[in-house]
Amino acid sequence: MQSSSKRTYYLIPYLAWMLLFVIAPIILVVYFSLFDLHGNFSFVNYQNFFTSVYLKLTLSSFWYALLITGFTLLIAYPTAYWLTKTKHKHLWLLLIIIPSWINLLLKTYAFIGIFGVFGPINAFLGMFGIDQQQILYTDFSFIFVSVYIFIPFMILPIFNSLDKMNPTLIDASRDLGASTWTTFTKVIFPLTINGVKSGIQAVFIPSLSLFMITRLIAGNKVITLGTAIEQQFLVTQNWGMGSTIAVFLILFMVIIMMLTGQKDKGVLLNGQNK
Amino acid sequence: MDRTSKFSKVYLALVFIILYAPIFYLIFYSFNSGGTMSSFESFTWEHYAAVFSDTRLIMILINTIIIALLSALLSTVIGVIGAIGIMYLSTRKSRSTLLSLNNVLVVSPDVIIGASFLILFTMVGVKLGFASVLISHIAFSVPIVVIMVLPKLQEMSSTLIDAALDLGASKRDILTRVIIPYIKPGIFAGFFLALTYSLDDFAVTFFVTGNGFTTLSVEIYSMARAGITLTINALSGLIFIVTLLLVLGYYFVTNRPKNPLRSGGPK
Instruction: Report the 10 Å Cβ neighbour count for A214.
Output: 22
Query: In this complex, do B81 and A10 lie within 8 Å of one another by their Cβ atoms?
Result: yes
Cβ partners under 8 Å of residue B108, min gap 6: A250, A253
- Is A37 part of any domain? no
- Which pLDDT belongs to residue B267? 32
Torsional sign, CA B190, B193, B195, B201: negative
Kindly report the backbone phi and psi dihedral angles of residue A208, in degrees, each rounded to the nearest multiple of 5, phi listed first: -70, -25
Residue type at A89?
K
Cβ partners under 8 Å of residue B99, min gap 6: B86, B150
- Which pLDDT belongs to residue B264? 36
Task: Give A37's pLDDT tier (boundaries 50, 70, 90).
Answer: confident
Task: Give A79's pLDDT tier (boundaries 50, 70, 90).
Answer: very high
Query: With an 8 Å Cβ cutoff, is B175 touching chain A?
Result: no
- Which pLDDT belongs to residue A86? 86
Residue A167: pLDDT above 60? yes
Domain count, chain A: 2
For chain B, give the longest Cα–Cα distance.
74
Query: With an 8 Å Cβ cutoff, is B35 touching chain A?
Result: no
Exposure of A162 in the CB half-sphere (CA atoms within 13 A): 25
On whether both A28 and A51 belong to a single domain, the answer is no
| CA distance readout (Å), A151 to A77, A131, A165, B55 | 10, 30, 21, 36
A37 or B266, greater pLDDT? A37
Interface contacts A/B by beta carbons within 8 Å: 222
A257 vs B contacts (CB less than 8 Å): 107
Residue type at B195?
L
Kindly report the backbone phi and psi dihedral angles of residue A31, in degrees, each rounded to the nearest multiple of 5, phi listed first: -60, -50
**What is the extent of the structural domain holding A194?**
44-273
On whether both A52 and A177 belong to a single domain, the answer is yes
Exposure of B101 in the CB half-sphere (CA atoms within 13 A): 23
d(CA A119, CA B28) in angstroms, rounded, equals 13
- Let me know if A77 is exposed, middle or buried by CB neighbors in 10 A (0-12, 13-18, 19+): buried
- Which pLDDT belongs to residue A6? 53
d(CA B74, CA A18) in angstroms, rounded, equals 15
Task: Give A271's pLDDT tier (boundaries 50, 70, 90).
Answer: very low
Residue from A103, A96, A68 nearest A159 by CA: A96
Query: In this complex, do A106 and B251 lie within 8 Å of one another by their Cβ atoms?
Result: no
- Is A39 part of any domain? no
Cβ partners under 8 Å of residue B225, min gap 6: A215, A216
Query: In this complex, do A14 and B12 lie within 8 Å of one another by their Cβ atoms?
Result: no
d(CA A25, CA B119) in angstroms, rounded, equals 8
Residue of A7, A14, A233 with shortest CB distance to B115: A233
On whether both A105 and A14 belong to a single domain, the answer is no
Query: With an 8 Å Cβ cutoff, is B242 touching chain A?
Result: no
- Is A255 part of any domain? yes
- Which pLDDT belongs to residue A262? 64
On whether both A144 and A225 belong to a single domain, the answer is yes
Query: In this complex, do A26 and B224 lie within 8 Å of one another by their Cβ atoms?
Result: no
Q: How far is A270 from chain B (nearest CA, A)?
A: 21
- Is A87 part of any domain? yes
Q: What is the CA radius of gyration of chain A?
A: 23
Mean pLDDT in each 10-residue stretch from start to end of chain B (267 residues)? 74 92 91 82 88 90 93 95 84 84 87 94 92 95 92 87 87 85 90 89 92 89 87 88 82 59 37
Task: Give the mean model confidence (pLDDT) for residues A178-199.
Answer: 89
Residue of A21, A79, A110 with shortest CB distance to B26: A110
- Which pLDDT belongs to residue B68? 94
Query: Where on the phi/psi map is residue A51: left (φ > 0), alpha (ψ -120 to 50), or beta?
Result: beta
pLDDT (tens digit per residue) in A204-258: 999 998 888 888 888 777 888 999 999 999 988 999 999 999 999 999 998 988 8
Q: How far is B200 from chain A (nearest CA, A)?
A: 5
CA A206 to chain centre: 4
Residue A78: pLDDT above 90? yes
Residue of A15, A120, A246 with shortest CB distance to B115: A246
Task: Give A263's pLDDT tier (boundaries 50, 70, 90).
Answer: low
On whether both A13 and A50 belong to a single domain, the answer is no
Query: In this complex, do A104 and B200 lie within 8 Å of one another by their Cβ atoms?
Result: yes
- Which pLDDT belongs to residue B158? 83
Q: What angle, rounded to 10 degrees, do the helices at A104-114 and B216-226 form?
A: 20
Query: In this complex, do A21 and B139 lie within 8 Å of one another by their Cβ atoms?
Result: yes
Task: Give A24's pLDDT tier (boundaries 50, 70, 90).
Answer: very high
| CA distance readout (Å), A128 to A114, A125, B18 | 18, 5, 21
The complex's ipTM works out to 0.85
On whether both A61 and A3 belong to a single domain, the answer is no
Q: Are B163 and B246 in contact (CB under 8 A)?
A: no
Q: Are B115 and A226 in contact (CB under 8 A)?
A: no
Residue type at B267?
K
DSSP B258: G
Query: In this complex, do B107 and A148 lie within 8 Å of one another by their Cβ atoms?
Result: no
Domain B32-257 top-level CATH class:
mainly alpha
Kindly report the backbone phi and psi dihedral angles of residue B170, in degrees, each rounded to the nearest multiple of 5, phi listed first: -80, 170
Instruction: Give me the CATH number covering residue A215.
Output: 1.10.3720.10
- Is A237 part of any domain? yes
Query: Average model confidence (pLDDT) for chain A?
Result: 85
- Is A38 part of any domain? no
Residue of A106, A111, A209 with shortest CB distance to B220: A106
On whether both A93 and A4 belong to a single domain, the answer is no
Residue type at A204?
F
Query: With an 8 Å Cβ cutoff, is B104 touching chain A?
Result: yes
Query: In this complex, do A206 and B110 lie within 8 Å of one another by their Cβ atoms?
Result: yes
Task: Give A70's pLDDT tier (boundaries 50, 70, 90).
Answer: very high
